[in-house]
Amino acid sequence: MELKERFLKYVSYDTQSSEESATFPSTEKQKVLLGVLRDEMEALGMTEVTMDRYGYVMGTIPATPGCVNAPVIGFIAHVDTSPDMSGKDVRPRVIEEYDGGDIVLNGQLTMRVAEFPELAFFKGHTLIHTDGTTLLGADDKAGVAEIMSATEYLMTHPEVEHGKIRIGFTPDEEVGRGVDHFDVAAFGADFAYTVDGGMEGELEYENFNAASARIDIQGRNVHPGYAKGKMINALDVACELQTLLPAEQRPQYTEGYEGFYHCVGVNGTVERAAVSYIVRDHDADRFEQKKVFLWSCVDLLKKKYGDGVLTLTLKDQYFNMRKMVEPHPQVIEKALEAMKQAGVKPLVRPIRGGTDGARLSFMGLPCPNLFTGGMNFHGKFEYCSLDTMRKARQVILNLAQLWAR
């Protein structure tokens, strides 16, 4: 199956995960695509193909003769799409030989180069974008397609020498629970790569330390005409909390290694409201400071409105993988060489986000992140370059061979 056809097939499946769900995976519909991938892996003749009760799909590309003692490497991608925007009924549009100009998504929406200057890099490429009503799902179905396309090539070209390769597909990465039940021992790789990056050439082994926060607010509703001194408007309290957090530490004002507080959801009424945040920072000390400051803001509002008005639930999600990857420099060195062989200029920079690989690195599986060619993840301006996707596939194939030497 051609890479383009494979990608368009995968994005046709609605695999949106949910932060509100307590099940695993958070949505059953993720298992539909995971089941399709299991069946495709079996059809290709892969061995040790499994799909467990949590939805994790794993399989093996057996080592070629003479390479059975090479390190076992893995490639991992997630199938779920972000809760931030619908991934149902995605209608991709394809531009052959993109001319470098603005892209009309629909009658009301245009993706402008002035607002998304990275588009200039992709002039001459084949681009796949949305119709402006959904996200695309390149995060991370581009990675899924690249891994499966490389797998198909290796399974049908036995002359290409490589060691044992493990392939893994996961649910729920977008809600921070992607490897909650991932069996590292069963996966059995010495090293692995998530294929979940963006811009061509990205190689990432630093990521945010991450936490999620939910503040439940119990208000007191009375008739507004007689509310003085009695009413506690839960929505007002939510707004007040937002003003206490430093405005310059919001995502739209930060870059590079700068962390942030990001309000991702508010819902409720005068009587009861809930606010959700994500807290991020690359530096461990600053990350802890951000969490302490959030607690202090909640405590301040408790003193003002009453101890039972606000309840903060703060949970760590993942940590910066750098200290777990750096002791294994060959993982990075081989990725750099694989990119150079593919004609790709490496871009080593921190992830302003996280991947399954961050947590897997702390679980004993060093796991940096490779580019996919997808851009503007989590929204209606998402797109990907088919040319860059092909290079990502070649990087996977190059890594397979480099680890066998």
> What does the block give as tokens for 140?
């991370």
pLDDT (tens digit, 9 = 90+) per residue, 79-122?
A: 999 999 999 999 999 999 999 999 999 999 999 999 999 999 99
Q: Could you tell me if 262 and 172 lie in one domain?
A: no
- Give phi and psi for 260, each to the nearest 5: -160, 165
pLDDT (0 to 100) of residue 354: 80
Q: Which residues are catalytic?
A: 80, 173
Residues 18 and 48 both lie in one domain: yes
Secondary element (H or E) of residue 324: helix 322-325
Do 83 and 216 sit in the same domain of this protein? no
What integer pLDDT is reported at residue 327 of this predicted model?
A: 96
Q: What is the pLDDT of residue 309?
A: 97
Query: Looking at the structure, do residues 99 and 53 belong to the same domain, yes or no?
Result: yes
- Among residues 318, 337, 352, the one where a domain terminates is 318
CATH number assigned to the domain comprising residue 241: 3.30.70.360
Q: Is 296 helix (H, G, I), strand (E, B) or coil?
A: helix
pLDDT at 351: 87
Contacts of 80 (CB under 8 A, 6+ apart): 15, 16, 17, 25, 26, 27, 30, 171, 172, 173, 174, 175, 178
Average pLDDT score over the chain: 97
Whether residues 343 and 246 fall in one domain? no
Do 389 and 244 belong together in one domain? Answer: no
- pLDDT value of residue 176: 85
Distance CA 161, CA 67 (A): 7
Residue 37's Cβ-count burial label (10 Å; 0-12, 13-18, 19+) is buried
pTM, entire model: 0.87
Which among 318, 352, 370 is the end of a domain? 318
8 Å CB contact between 329 and 223: no
Condensed to tens digits (0 to 9), the pLDDT of residues 170-188 reads 999 999 899 999 999 999 9
Q: Are residues 173 and 121 in the same domain?
A: yes
Q: Return the biggest CA–CA distance within the chain.
A: 84
- Residue 231: is it exposed, middle or buried by C-beta count within 10 angstroms (0-12/13-18/19+)? middle
Q: What is the DSSP string of 204-245?
A: E----EEEEEEEEEE-B---GGG-TTT-B-HHHHHHHHHHHS
Low-confidence ranges of the chain (pLDDT < 70): none
Instruction: State the pLDDT at residue 286.
Output: 97
Length of the chain: 405
Number of domains in the chain: 2
Q: Is the dihedral of CA 194, 400, 10, 47 positive or negative?
A: negative
At 318 the pLDDT is 87
Instruction: Identify whether residues 96 and 184 lie together within a single domain.
Output: yes
Shared domain for 291 and 332, answered yes or no, is no
Residue 111 sits in the same domain as residue 177: yes
CATH number at residue 194: 3.40.630.10
Lookup: tokens for 257: 């290694």
3-state secondary structure of 76: strand
On whether both 8 and 96 belong to a single domain, the answer is yes
Looking at the DSSP bridge assignments, the partners of residue 167 are: 59, 75
Whether 21 and 112 share a structural domain: yes
Q: Show the beta-strand stretches assigned E in 42-175.
A: 47-51, 57-61, 73-78, 93-95, 103-104, 110-111, 127-129, 165-170
Distance, CA of 176 to CA of 183 (rounded, Å): 16
Q: Give the end of a domain, one of 318, 337, 353.
A: 318
* Residue 285: domain span: 209-318
